[in-house]
Structure 1
Amino acid sequence: MIAALSQLTQQLIANMTVVALPDMIIDLNFNAGNIMAVNLIYLCTLVAFCIPFAKVISQYGVKRCTRISLYGLLLSVGLSFFAVDPYMLLASRLIQGLTSASLAISIYVMIVEDIPESEVGSALGIVVSAGYIGMLVAPSFMGMMVYFASWRTAFLILLPIIAIQLILLSKVKGEWTTEKKPIDNIGCLLYIVMMALFTIGLEGIDTYGLIFVVMSAVIFILFIRHERGIKNRIYNLNLMRNINYVIGNYAAMIAYFCTSITTTTLSFYLLYSMDFSEYIIGLILMITPIIMVGMAPPAGRLSNRIDPRMISGTSLFLMFLSMLMYTYMDRYSINFVLVACFIQGLGNGLFSAPNNKYVLTLVDEKDLPDASSLLSTSKEFGKILSGCIFSVLLSVFVGNTTMSSDLELEIFASIHYMMLICAILALSGSLLLFYSRYKYKLEINPEVIKIFRNLMPDWIKRRYDD
């Protein structure tokens, strides 16, 4: 229950601000140049600290770190509710990114350490379902709260969820322990600084950002040299020699690149161009995740019979079609947008399970944790990169002025080029997956397959024994 509520909390935090962003801009006097910082600072912190926090949790215990993270969330909710300027809101998002990074690791350690092996699959299914619920509820709930009250009150929904988690955590006796490994402090510091500089540089690439990007590149070289010279590395860099693995991670990055920014661009278009209320926008944005939830289970079963690269490639091609439709959605009615949302939902739903299976089953058993962390990093990096590019486009077309319906043409110009970039990248990911299917043999690791089979509930094993 603690793990499921943590997953629910994470998805609420990650997706709540999307619909409310226009109102936050007006209320706190954001300018176009730092609008995307609301979500970028959360994603940057999550990516930068996820791997280092894994080492910290292994040293100090899951229960203790989870409790500290929940108290941190309470602090961030207070900062969000009482925010009087952009900096106070950004500080709350920074804390939310730190706590989400810690909870993301703790969730699965709890399940693996505490649940019997025969029940792990069922437990993980409940946890994942809680995450999908959060993804579905967050935009529509925020839309209703903005419509009937204000964006500030929406953050208060987190208070009872966090309180329940703290109460349940107090009932747990003992501590979840993991294998203690030495923390590579220098490597962690280099990694955090590198990711922070790179994200800041991308956000301001049209002005000062290039300096930060160059600095992050220099630190990246130092990080690689440092990792090669030590035993307990943050990442197993040898995984990147597998071309199939690289293509799979690139495809994951592209999928999340397109998915995350589409929600933001659609909310802007529906608000400033179509003049819809936040409540209606929230309902429209629910179409894609609902379709995704329905398509994910059959996509996983289909990957048992068909090369997962073919399924993932087809799904990215569907995403390419939807991105292309979004590019020219100003020429058609709202029904055209709804169809595009449906097609995108099909693509997203078909993509995740086959691509995850494809990437994670390419590595040896001992490299499975590293492969999982690299896959997660690729997904989050895709979110960060898309947000940074859209921020640059807004700065170019809108400038450092307050967003309003008077800038409808300038706003849609930014959306038009952002969606065109998404379409091109989705097509490139699709073609690479198809190329990999016909160029490189798929050599999955039977040991890893055995691990995933052991995590499955018994009824799935009996029904899909092949």
Structure 2
Amino acid sequence: MQHPTQKNETSKKVASAVAAVSSFLTPFTGAAINIALPAIQREFAMNALLLGWVSASFLLSSAMFLVPFGRIADIYGRKRIFLTGITLFALFSLLSALANSTLTLLAARLLQGVGAAMIFGTGVAILTSVYPPQERGKALGINVAAVYTGLSLGPVLGGILVHQFGWRSIFLAVTLLSAGAVILALWKLKGEWAEARDEKFDLPGAFIYALSLPALMYGFSALPAVAGMLFIAAGVLGLILFVRWELRAQSPLLNMALFRKNTVFTFSNLAALINYSATFAVGFLLSLYLQYLKGLTAQAAGATLVWQPAVMALCSPFAGRLSDRTEPRIVASVGMLLTTCGLLLLAFLSAGTPFWAIIAVLILLGLGFALFSSPNTNAVMSAVEKRYYGVASGTLGTMRLTGQMFSMGITMLVFALYIGKVQITSAYYAPFLAAVKSAFLIFAVLCAGGIFASLARGKMR
């Protein structure tokens, strides 16, 4: 019979393993599917708009349900919602692999995003529940490393799978990995965490939130069209209505006191939003730059870009441990500063920039994001009571997804201003490069503002 201490250690290791697998799966799937999009387009004869929805449908449904499922997990049990989410993720990955039309693939991807929302809203919360504060940074660092390992391996393994077995093999591989995580969690992960068990679920608030956020995110992606502005206006009005409702609700979906009375929580989430807004489009922009202006193949461009997520994966555990021993806001702010420097250097790109310089900047960005992400996650989760872990995890995930869409919105807006609605051919390389440099300059300024948001959170220790 296991000693209680041994049982606790086993539970922590299993929780860490299950959370790491689930954290690996979602970025891996997204990165691999981006490689597979041309093959999917050929099979289903999709137009560009529908092809974009193969990725966007997943992002939108994930964002819509993140905070609601985080709250449901706090009330009904994090393990229960996590298991449901990873099971749905496996099921709809399989249905994606078996899709025989555009409609069925988009529907499967939409529902796969719902499963991902359950995972996002609970995985980090379970880790935070299992690990004591003095060990939390290390556990979260390993989890963040799993995310960037998925981002690193996605383009490489995705390309191999598509080339050897076709695009459906990506979804089949994800199905098998997800099923393995389900089996491990059912077999070894003991206990349940539901510190808000007796509280009610705010259904009206969830409804308003689930309509407002996708409107806002879609609006940014549709700029500078009038429809984009209308969607942004509708999204902003919806979020204002959501905040007003939550301030009056007896059992709010999102306790606004977490923001009004908790400086660490508020500014840590704001820092995350700014960081993702400033960094998500880097891979997109550099991929186009390397292929258009440098003449690299997609495979060679992917091999160059892998430096950033690889450094993130290697350094995240170290950054997590560092935040256990020193003030998280200092570590995270240094990471934001390094990221700002990297973005500023990219604003000086030219057609003749040597490859070693590009790789050096990617390494700098990878180190900066690793130093920011793990300590910032640690700060968010350590700033709230146990019964709000699910909501805190979901809120942080929402900051990530909203930031990603905002980053692409800025990029598309800059492209529209500099290039217009044309294909990027050699005749448009000059305005394309100007757009890329302008985007990186905007991101650098945005990230510089994030340094102040990171420092403003105040001391935790």
Q: TM-score range by the shorter chain?
A: 0.7 to 0.9
In 2, Cα distance between equivalents of 1:80 and 1:406: 39
Equivalent position amino acid for 1:11 in 2:
P
Instruction: Look up the match of 2:87.
Output: 70
Secondary structure at 1:329's aligned position in 2?
Answer: coil
Contact 1:362/1:443, CA 8 A, preserved across alignment? no
Relative to 1, partners in 2 of residues 1:254 and 1:126: Cα closer, same or farther, differing over 3 Å?
closer
| Residue aligned with 1:255, SS | helix
- Equivalent of residue 142 in structure 1, options 143, 158, 169: 158
C-alpha distance in 2 between matches for 1:221 and 1:51: 16
Could you state the TM-score of these two structures normalised by the residue count of structure 1? Answer: 0.78
How has the CA–CA distance of structure 1 residues 117 and 32 changed in structure 2, closer, same or farther, with 3 Å as cutoff? same
Aligned with 1:133 (options 125, 136, 149): 149
Change (3 A) 1:206 1:27: farther
State the distance in 1 between where 2:38 and 2:116 align: 24
Which moves more between the two structures, 170-179 or 366-375? Answer: 170-179
Q: Map 1:146-185 to 2 at 5 A.
A: 146=162, 150-168=166-184, 176=192, 178=194, 179=197, 181-185=199-203
Instruction: Kindly state the Cα deviation for residue 320 of structure 1 after the two structures are TM-superposed.
Output: 1.5
| Structure 1 partner of 2:400 | 379
1:95 paired with 2:111, answer yes
Distance 1:43 1:155 in 2: 17
How far off its partner does 1:30 sit?
6.8
Task: State how far apart, in whole Å, the 1-side matches of 2:169 and 2:271 are.
Answer: 37
Select the residue among 234, 255, 259 that pairs with 2:275: 255
How far is the alpha carbon of 1:343 from its aligned partner? 0.9
Name the amino acid aligned to 2:111. I
Identity of aligned residues (%): 24
* Cα contact 1:142–1:282 (8 A) shared by 2: no
Taking the TM superposition and a 5 Å limit, the aligned residue runs for 1:17-416 are: 17-20=33-36, 37-57=53-73, 58-59=75-76, 62-63=79-80, 66-67=83-84, 69-79=86-96, 82=99, 85=102, 90-108=106-124, 130-146=146-162, 150-168=166-184, 176=192, 178=194, 179=197, 181-207=199-225, 208-241=227-260, 242-243=262-263, 245-303=265-323, 306-331=326-351, 332-363=353-384, 369-400=390-421, 408-409=429-430, 411-416=432-437
Q: Cα distance, 1:171 vs. partner?
A: 5.2
Check conservation: 2:131, 2:139, Cα contact below 8 A.
Answer: no
Tell me the equivalent position of 1:453. Answer: none
Instruction: State the secondary structure of the residue aligned to 2:119.
Output: helix
Once residues 424 and 11 of structure 1 are traced to their aligned partners in structure 2, the CA distance between those partners, rounded to angstroms, is 27
Equivalent residue number for residue 464 of structure 1: none
Aligned pair count reads: 438
Report the Cα distance in structure 2 between the residues aligned to 1:84 and 1:394, rounded to whole angstroms. 32
Q: Does the CA-based 8 Å contact 1:256-1:379 persist in structure 2? A: yes
What 5-or-longer segments of structure 1 have no aligned partner?
447-466
With structure 2 as the length reference, what TM-score do the two structures score? 0.79
Deviation of 1:355 (Å): 2.6
Offset, 1:316: 1.6
Shift of 1:301: 4.2
**Distance of aligned partners of 1:170 and 1:443 in 2 relative to their CA distance in 1, 3 Å threshold:** closer
Following TM superposition, by how much is the alpha carbon of 1:403 offset from its aligned partner in structure 2, in angstroms? 6.3
Shift of residue 288 of structure 1?
1.2
**1:3 Cα deviation from its structure 2 partner:** 4.0
Report the Cα offset of residue 415 of structure 1. Answer: 2.6
| Residues 274 and 446 in structure 2, CA contact (< 8 A), matched pair in contact too | yes
- The AA in structure 2 aligned to 1:6 is S
Q: Supply the RMSD in Å over aligned alpha carbons.
A: 3.8
**1:6 Cα shift?**
2.4
Following the alignment from structure 1 to structure 2, what is the Cα–Cα distance between the partners of residues 89 and 402? 27
Bigger mean CA offset, 336-345 vs 306-315: 306-315
Quick one: which amino acid aligns to residue 375 of structure 1? L
Q: Please report how far the alpha carbon of residue 303 of structure 1 lies from its aligned counterpart in structure 2 after TM superposition.
A: 3.9
